[in-house]
């Protein structure tokens, strides 16, 4: 059966929120960003949810919103959070409901894109400051290593290194042909 949900996964900085709206427009789908949905529903920034309630609370909330809201949509491109499919059986639920696209990027590229960002709680120290560059790079490497086995189970893999956003969207569209309604 052809599906009508396209999920974007990949590490923080891989381009999910940038590519998502463009891909949705080309497919004549709507776009939704799970992080933004969590922030709207909780009335708080993700960094504050992590600080005040911890990661487990965040993961449970993310999973609840995925199941109760996101998986019920159709004709949507969904930007997942970078860790969504690594928790509980979210990967299975996502793959069952739609086509999962992994936006691949090498660690150096990710590092350059996220090194000044203060809104990614997993990349901050205990005081909420961005990690020093060496530690940040090590953190990216270790998280990527843990997550790749999940990411690589996506239905479509697309490298984003050395490609414009438009080229990446074109490649995804080509790979989606015949797979979605
Ligand atoms: C996370 C990625 C973030 C956000 C949260 C946790 C992760 O989303 O969900 O900070 O575990 O990789 P982006 O991938 O959109 O930055």
User: Alpha carbon 175 to chain centroid distance?
Assistant: 19
* Domain assignment present for 181: no
Q: Whats the size of the chain, residue-wise? A: 181
Paired sense of beta strands 156-159 and 76-79, if any: unpaired
* Domain assignment present for 144: yes
Q: What is the CATH number of the domain that holds 29?
A: 3.40.50.300
Q: Whose CA is nearest to atom 10 of ligand 1?
A: 120
* Domain assignment present for 137: yes
* Domain assignment present for 167: yes
Q: Is the pLDDT of residue 181 over 90?
A: no
Answer for the pair 79, 32: CB distance below 8 angstroms, yes or no: yes
* Domain assignment present for 121: yes
Q: Which residue has the tokens 């909420």?
A: 128
Pocket test for ligand 1, best of 12, 46, 113 (most atoms within 8 A of CB): 12
Query: Binning pLDDT at 50, 70 and 90, where does residue 1 land?
Result: low
| C-alpha 119 – ligand 1 centre gap (Å) | 9
Q: Whose CA is nearest to atom 11 of ligand 1?
A: 83
Q: Note the pTM of the prediction, 2 decimals.
A: 0.97
Number of domains the chain is built from: 1
Query: Binning pLDDT at 50, 70 and 90, where does residue 92 land?
Result: very high
Q: Is the pLDDT of residue 3 over 90?
A: no
Range of the domain at 141: 5-176
* Domain assignment present for 72: yes
Q: What is the pLDDT of residues 32-70, one digit of tens each?
A: 999 999 999 999 999 999 999 999 999 999 999 999 999
- CA-to-CA distance for 32 and 128, rounded, in angstroms? 27
* Domain assignment present for 122: yes
Q: What is the pLDDT of residues 110-145, one digit of tens each?
A: 999 999 999 999 999 989 899 999 999 999 999 999
Q: Which two tokens stand for residue 73?
A: 């949509």
């Amino acid at each position: 059966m052809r599906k009508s949900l396209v999920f974007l996964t990949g590490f923080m900085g891989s381009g999910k929120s940038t590519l998502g709206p463009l891909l949705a427009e080309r497919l004549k789908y709507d776009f939704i960003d799970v992080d933004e949905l969590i922030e709207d529903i909780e009335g708080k920034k993700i960094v504050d949810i992590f600080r005040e309630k911890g990661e487990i609370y965040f993961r449970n909330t993310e999973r609840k919103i995925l199941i109760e809201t996101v998986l019920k949509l159709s004709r949507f491109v969904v930007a997942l959070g970078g860790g969504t499919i690594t928790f509980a059986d979210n990967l299975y639920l996502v793959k069952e409901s739609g086509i999962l696209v992994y936006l691949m990027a090498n660690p150096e590229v990710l590092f350059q894109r996220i090194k000044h960002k203060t809104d990614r709680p997993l990349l901050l120290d205990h005081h909420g400051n961005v990690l020093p560059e060496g530690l940040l790079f090590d953190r990216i490497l270790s998280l990527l290593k843990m997550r790749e086995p999940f990411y690589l189970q996506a239905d479509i893999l697309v490298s984003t290194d050395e490609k414009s956003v438009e080229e990446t969207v074109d490649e995804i569209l080509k790979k989606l042909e015949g797979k979605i309604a």
